């Protein structure tokens, strides 16, 4: 169903958009529609989720030093209360933030593969969350660093992360906006988005790979799926490095304008019937 060049294109789209607050699912859905792919087909839905694993592997490689530091501190803190510093608390924060996302994703699974696979849902998600991002970027005090993140903060961010089930919202956009509203600075909010995204999207991708293995094999094909996953990983690594440099010196206005422009383009394509909503 998906040939090699389509898989490369989709892998590039996933790698670029997964960590930028512009909605990777929205971009993949539009790209798949322009390619004439049936976005409501179970194998295409599974493919879209599985190739995210490539981007997550890229984030693991990029943040390997941080991951090892948090894990080491967490295990040390479990054994010795005197070693329960900020890295130990971050370990618990990441675990706590993953739980609400996982629970909500499982409960809302039918919505993900059903009504929310419409491009009109993408448009709504892009517009509504652009407003939320604008508010977060302007209202957030941005006076807290990464060391100040608590379990409570992470549970809130994990819950907000689940809003990315609505295509167009953006997982990173949801968590970054939440972080800004909690007073985190842009770099801290962005890094926390990565840390919460690693377990979330790996779990999602592996769950879909196992659950929809037969659909992928009979539909999209494992060759195309693995190719898209590999391409997304390579491109995502570059995207991560660029985003962290960007947010250290800029606000999110550019992303907000882009999201709104993309929403207008999608509406135009739908109204002129160049593409269908589902």
For 201-247, how does the pLDDT look when each residue is reduced to its tens digit (9 = 90+)?
A: 888 878 877 887 887 888 888 999 999 999 999 999 999 999 999 99
| Averaged confidence pLDDT in the chain | 91
Q: What length is written for the chain?
A: 278
Which one-letter DSSP state was computed for residue 168? T
What is the spatial distance between Cα 188 and Cα 208, in angstroms, rounded to a whole number? 30
Instruction: Say if residue 109's pLDDT is above 80.
Output: no
Is 80 exceeded by the pLDDT of residue 162?
A: yes
Res 203: pLDDT: 85
pTM listed for this prediction: 0.90
- At residue 168, φ and ψ (nearest 5 deg) are 110, -25
Task: Determine phi and psi for 276, rounding to 5 degrees.
Answer: -95, 160
Overall average pLDDT of the 254-276 stretch: 94
With a CB cutoff of 8 Å and minimum separation 6, the contacts of 188 are 144, 145, 146, 148, 149, 179
What is the reported pLDDT for 111? 63
Q: For residue 114, what pLDDT is reported?
A: 58
Taking CA atoms, 37 is separated from 32, 45, 69, 103, in Å, by: 5, 11, 43, 30
Q: How large a percentage of the chain has pLDDT more than 90?
A: 67
Query: What pLDDT score does 115 carry?
Result: 62
- At 219 the pLDDT is 82
User: In angstroms, how far is CA 125 from the centroid of its own chain?
Assistant: 14
| Burial zone of 266 (CB within 10 Å; 0-12 exposed, 13-18 middle, 19+ buried) | buried
Rounded CA-CA distance 97/77 in Å is 19
Rounded Cα gap, residues 98 and 177, in angstroms: 17
Compare 110 and 131 and report the one with higher pLDDT. Answer: 131
Candidates 174, 129, 133; CA nearest to 156 is: 174
| pLDDT given for residue 112 in this prediction | 60
Q: Give the model's pLDDT for residue 46.
A: 84
User: For the segment 60-103, what is each residue's pLDDT rounded down to a tens digit?
Assistant: 999 999 999 999 999 999 999 999 999 999 999 999 999 999 89
pLDDT for the residue numbered 149: 95
pLDDT category at 31 given cuts 50, 70, 90 is very high
């Amino acid at each position: 169903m998906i040939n090699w060049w389509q898989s490369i294109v989709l892998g590039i789209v996933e790698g670029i958009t997964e960590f930028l607050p512009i909605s990777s699912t929205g971009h993949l859905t539009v790209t798949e529609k322009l390619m004439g792919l049936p976005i409501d087909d179970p194998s295409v839905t599974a493919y879209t989720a599985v190739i995210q694993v490539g981007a997550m592997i890229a984030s693991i490689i990029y943040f390997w030093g941080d991951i090892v530091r948090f894990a080491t501190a967490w295990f040390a803190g479990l054994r010795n209360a005197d070693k329960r510093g900020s890295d130990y608390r971050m370990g618990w924060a990441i675990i706590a933030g993953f739980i609400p996302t996982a629970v909500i994703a499982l409960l809302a699974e039918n919505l993900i593969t059903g009504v929310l696979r419409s491009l009109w849902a993408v448009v709504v998600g892009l517009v509504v969350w652009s407003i939320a991002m604008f508010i977060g970027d302007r209202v957030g005090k941005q006076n807290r660093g990464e060391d100040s993140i608590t379990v409570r903060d992470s549970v809130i961010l994990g819950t907000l992360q689940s809003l990315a089930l609505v295509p167009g919202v953006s997982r990173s956009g949801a968590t970054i906006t939440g972080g800004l509203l909690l007073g985190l600075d842009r770099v801290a909010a962005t890094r926390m988005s990565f840390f919460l995204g690693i377990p979330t999207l790996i779990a999602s991708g592996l769950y879909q790979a196992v659950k929809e293995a037969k659909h992928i094999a009979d539909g999209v094909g494992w060759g195309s799926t693995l190719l898209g996953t590999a391409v997304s990983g390579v491109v995502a690594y570059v995207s991560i490095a660029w985003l962290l440099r960007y947010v250290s010196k800029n606000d999110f206005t550019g992303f907000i304008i882009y999201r709104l422009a993309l929403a207008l383009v999608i509406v135009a394509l739908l109204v002129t019937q160049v593409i269908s909503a589902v």
